Structure 1
Amino acid sequence: MELTIKDRLYLPSFLPARGNFKEFNLKKEILRKIAISDDERQEINLRENAEDKRIEWDVEKERPLLVEFSKEEMDYLKKACERISDEELPDDMWATVETVYNEIAKS
């Protein structure tokens, strides 16, 4: 799955805060795979705008991350996306959900 910086920032907010031990481990592994390294943060100048508390970065320097998730991780992501399907979210967050569903449809 190809993930943008925005996808990688949004995905953790979709994942449940609670779950059983297996779900905890799936979430931990997903978060490890999509983490933004310190080097990458510097490269794209990832920062918080002090005025409006928004996260900003140099999109020209951004490179999508190619991530492979296991079947169990994809099932967990699917469940997480289904759980939020009735919530009202900004369009760009739905684009991240769509990215997950498109990848699920391929497999």
Structure 2
Amino acid sequence: MELHIKDRMYFPQLLPQQNTFMEYAMKRQILKKVGLTKEDQEAFSIVEDKEKNEIRWNIEKDMAQPLTVDFTKDELEYIKKGCEALSEHPCPDDFWGLVERIYNTEPQK
């Protein structure tokens, strides 16, 4: 699955907030796969404007170089569990676009 910066920022919101210990471990592993690193911050010129309460980055570079991530069947089921818990909450269209892409993703073999 290809993820762009905004997708990666949405990911923590997708995942369940209450977990068993095993789910918590899986959540940490997923966030490690998709999380933004210091290298990403430098490579994509990610900056936070605290006054405007927004985050900016080099969108052209982001579109040209998405992060490719493979999820296991169990990870996808866990992510979908979080998506289903949010299904009644209003969210931006691009958030739901990410959810749709997750549901269309094939698990890693």
Instruction: Confirm or deny that 1:12 pairs with 2:12.
Output: yes
TM-score normalised to structure 2 length: 0.89
Q: CA RMSD in A?
A: 1.6
What is the identity, as a one-letter code, of the residue corresponding to 2:7? D
SS of 1:18's partner is coil
Q: 1:1-107 residue pairs with structure 2 within 5 A?
A: 1-62=1-62, 63-104=65-106
| Superposition deviation, residue 26 in structure 1 | 0.9
Q: 1:8-59 CA deviation, whole Å, 9 max, x = no partner?
A: 0001111122110111011000000001121111111111123321111011
Any gaps of 5 or more consecutive residues in structure 1? none
Q: Percent identity?
A: 41
Give 4+ residue runs of structure 1 displaced > 3 Å after superposition: none
TM-score normalised to structure 1 length: 0.91
Any gaps of 5 or more consecutive residues in structure 2? none
